[in-house]
Amino acid sequence: MMRLFISLIIIFSLAASCRREERVPDDVISQEKMGQIFIDLAMAEAFVENFSPKDSTVAKDSLIQIEMDKILAIHKVDQTQFEASYNFYKLHPTLFKQLADSAYSKTQKSRDTSLLRRIPVKL
């Protein structure tokens, strides 16, 4: 999970240097869908890191790949399409920043809503 966040920080830094208007081609996964995939991948990676057996003979990278395959199947995206879209966004930091900002905002809203549900209200 830390690798993903470090990568996002680096890309955010690069995004500041690009200011021209860009569009996502039709053959690239939309920013909305790609953001949701990123959120799901980050949660899957955190799950594997925190809950995989410590003495497992299966490498964590293999478990993460299994979870990634499941997530891509849920979103009806194949590995090739995901990689091509990811490479597109890496080459267009402004679009990637928009995607990441939107995904981050959604996770924060979800977290805040979840926390509010747990706070007991005294009347």
Output the pTM of the full model: 0.69
pLDDT digits (tens, 9 = 90+) for 73-86: 999 999 999 999 99
- The answer to whether residue 24 is domain-embedded is no
Q: What is the pLDDT of residues 4-38, one digit of tens each?
A: 656 656 666 666 555 556 788 999 999 999 999 99
Number of domains in the chain: 1
Residue 27 lies inside a defined structural domain of this protein: no
Q: Which of 86, 2, 75 is nearest to 37 (CA)?
A: 75
The rounded distance, in Å, linking the Cα atoms of 9 and 65 is 23
Domain range for 67 is 1-10+39-108
Q: Residue 100: inside a domain, yes or no?
A: yes
Asked if residue 20 is part of any domain, the answer here is no
